[in-house]
Structure 1
Amino acid sequence: MTPGHIALWTVLGVALVISVVTDVMRREILDVVTYPLMAVGLGVRLATEGVGGLGDGLLSGLVSGVGMALLLVPAAARGQMGWGDVKLMGGVGAVLGFPASMAAAAFISLAGAAQAVVSLLWQGAVWDTVSAALRRWAVRLHLARSDAQPAARRHIPYGVAIALGTFWALWWQHESLG
């Protein structure tokens, strides 16, 4: 592992911990964390690996950062997720590059699914969630009318899943390198 990787992983770890705290406490992921994360990630990649290609360097960080961010844009555009989550994913991709960002995306998805299930169980909202989903499908299949009130939105801080999935990917990458 190079000193550049150690520096990137350290900056990423600090950014993720700060983002988890602010997301849980204040329901926001701060621009003052995400923008520098992206800049440092891309800057260190450029300084240590050059412009590179898909597998290393600045290009790898750019492609991975944009790709990771785009995964969450549809949910953010519908208001189901905050834009801070999108920017944090972009920062994760910029730091990890390709192919590690692909593992991170998979692990973040798994952590997010587990987090959602645990949150719904904790809040006692499993039946409400299942019945709302069934109602939406009944309306789409024209088996019911859409006169019901929309279900209350629940906040699940996705920054937690982003952090857990990213740390999982870092561990996985470290194990596969060692």
Structure 2
Amino acid sequence: MVSAPEGLRELPRLAAEQVRARVAGVPDPELPVVTLAELGVIRSVGLAPDGRLEVVVTPTYLGCPAMPAIEAGIRAVLVACGHPDGRVRQVLAPPWSTERITPEGRRKLAEHGIAPPGAVDAPVAVRLGLGARCPHCGSEATRPQSAFGATRCQAVVFCTACRETFAHLKAM
């Protein structure tokens, strides 16, 4: 057995369930008000066939520039949990959708002025209203101002009721 270099002690290896709980708390680098779990990016945490701990993630969209930061955050958790040989694997199918955002994630986004995508419990054909619900006043009398916001997964929307602009997480 190879021992750790002098001055470095080997960290205890936490179980996959414990690692998942810690990975779930990693904040999204572009929307730090929500965690990766609340955003629905984490698919699974478990042992791969080769015995290494593996975290499977799905980016919010193809080419997401936050993926290197997301992977680095997860790798840091893996090392801290005693799995320096753990890995992060991206999967694209099934694709991520806004339905994966948890109710707590939706609440946090709205609380911080980012309109989450429409309700997941109503079919698209039944949703009524002019646009995204304003997180400031609750009005649906909104209109797109820019297809691009602070990040590629956001748009900028203008509320005609309270005359405020706000970020809207695009439905995917």
Question: Does the pair score TM above 0.5?
Answer: no
- Normalised to the residue count of structure 1, the TM-score between the two structures is 0.29
* TM-score normalised to structure 2 length: 0.30
**Higher helix share goes to which structure?**
1
Structure with the larger RCO, 1 or 2 (CA within 8 Å, 6+ apart)? 1
Q: Is the strand fraction higher in 1 or 2?
A: 2
